[in-house]
């Protein structure tokens, strides 16, 4: 499903249309595609300060939930490497990542 379509108001007359764009007939509205983020931001801008603070708190909780989900995934995958694979990876890191090329600085 694409972005929502929202009605717009008519531009005040007289209207000088851009090339290829005509004004909507009187009494009708036109539709423009608005992305979801723009709609949410517009809604937030219209909130009074107390409600905006509530929205900010809610967004903060959503972000914490995401962090908790990441920790859950990390905990689930922790220990998934065999000892041999872990040793091989450690050796590759030591051999390839601990060299300093002074000409590179």
pLDDT tens track for 80-105: 888 899 899 888 888 877 677 777 76
Q: Are 69 and 63 in contact (CB under 8 A)?
A: no
pLDDT tens track for 13-34: 444 445 455 555 666 666 666 7
Q: Which of 35-44, 48-57, 71-80 has the lowest mean pLDDT?
A: 71-80
Q: What is the pLDDT of residue 14?
A: 46
Dihedral sign from CA coordinates of 81, 87, 88, 92: positive
Q: Are 43 and 71 in contact (CB under 8 A)?
A: no
Which backbone phi and psi does 31 adopt, to 5 degrees? -110, 140
% of the chain at pLDDT higher than 70: 66
Region 48-56 average pLDDT: 94
């Amino acid at each position: 499903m694409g972005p929502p379509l929202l009605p717009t108001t008519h531009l005040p007359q007289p209207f000088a249309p851009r090339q290829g764009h005509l004004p909507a007939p009187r009494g009708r509205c036109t539709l423009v595609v608005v992305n979801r983020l723009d709609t949410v931001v517009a809604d937030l801008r219209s909130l009074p300060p107390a409600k905006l603070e509530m929205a900010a708190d809610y967004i903060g909780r959503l972000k914490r939930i995401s962090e908790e989900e990441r920790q859950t995934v990390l905990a689930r995958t922790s220990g998934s490497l065999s000892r041999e694979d872990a040793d091989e990876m450690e050796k590759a890191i030591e051999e390839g990542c601990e060299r300093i090329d002074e000409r590179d600085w």
